[in-house]
C-alpha cells in the first residue's frame, strides 16, 4: 500500500492584505500639527527615504506611509509602517 504524502494538508498562505489608508487626518508626530496620512503601497514605492521614527532607510518597493502637514505640504515625511503606528500611539 503506498504511503500518503504528509505535506498534502500544508498550504502556502499568502500574507494578509493590508487595507489601503488614503488621506486619513492625523496629528503629525514630528510637528504636532494636523497632517494627512497616506499609505504608499510597494508597487508605488520607487525611491528610498529615511524614516524620521528610526533614522533607517525605507527601501524601494516597501509599503510605508507618508505624512503631509496641512500647513506645509512640502515638509512631507515618509515613515515605516511600524514606526508611524508606534509614534501615533504616543
Tens of pLDDT along 22-43? 788 999 988 899 999 999 999 9
Whether 41 maps to a domain, the answer reads yes
| Three cell numbers written together for 6 | 504528509
Whether 19 maps to a domain, the answer reads no
* Cβ proximity of 79 and 51 under 8 Å: yes
Whether 15 maps to a domain, the answer reads no
- Alpha-carbon gap, residue 46 to 18, rounded angstroms: 19
End-to-end CA distance of the chain: 62
* pLDDT at site 21: 67
C-alpha distances in Å from residue 42, one per residue of 51, 65, 74, 80: 16, 11, 22, 12
* pLDDT at site 11: 47
Q: State CA 90 to chain mean position distance.
A: 18
Domain containing 83 equals 24-61+68-89
Mean pLDDT by 10 residues, the chain (90 residues): 57 50 84 92 93 96 94 94 89
Whether 40 maps to a domain, the answer reads yes
Number of domains in the chain: 1
Amino acid at each position: 500500500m503506498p504511503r500518503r504524502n504528509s505535506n498534502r494538508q500544508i498550504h502556502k498562505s499568502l500574507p494578509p492584505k493590508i487595507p489601503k489608508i488614503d488621506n486619513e487626518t492625523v496629528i503629525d508626530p514630528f510637528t504636532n500639527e494636523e497632517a494627512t496620512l497616506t499609505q504608499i503601497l510597494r508597487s508605488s514605492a520607487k525611491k528610498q527615504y529615511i524614516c524620521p521614527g528610526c533614522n533607517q532607510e525605507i527601501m524601494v518597493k516597501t509599503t510605508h506611509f507618508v505624512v503631509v502637514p496641512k500647513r506645509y505640504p512640502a515638509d512631507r515625511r515618509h515613515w515605516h509602517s511600524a514606526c508611524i503606528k508606534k509614534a501615533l500611539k504616543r
